[in-house]
Structure 1
Amino acid sequence: MSKIEYKDLLDAGVHFGHLTRKWDPRMAPYIFMEKNGIH
């Protein structure tokens, strides 16, 4: 099994999940970026 790198996950977009208008402000320290209206 190959080692999964953090950059590979970012490139694949697996870290996106919730619409930007539906977020909890307490999660701000953990939100890295936005793409097409999704955190």
Structure 2
Amino acid sequence: MGPGHSFICNQGLTTQLLSKLLFVLTSVNLQLLYQFGLLF
């Protein structure tokens, strides 16, 4: 459990957060596109 291990663990957490953020952004964009599609 040295500093290297904690760094790898942090990298994993960051990757998870980024993928979740990307998923949220994608779904929001899809919803916006869908609503614009209904408007036009």
TM-score, reference length from structure 1 = 0.22
Relative to its length, the structure with more helix (as a share) is: 2
Higher relative contact order (CA closer than 8 Å, sequence separation 6+): 1
The structure that has the greater radius of gyration is 2
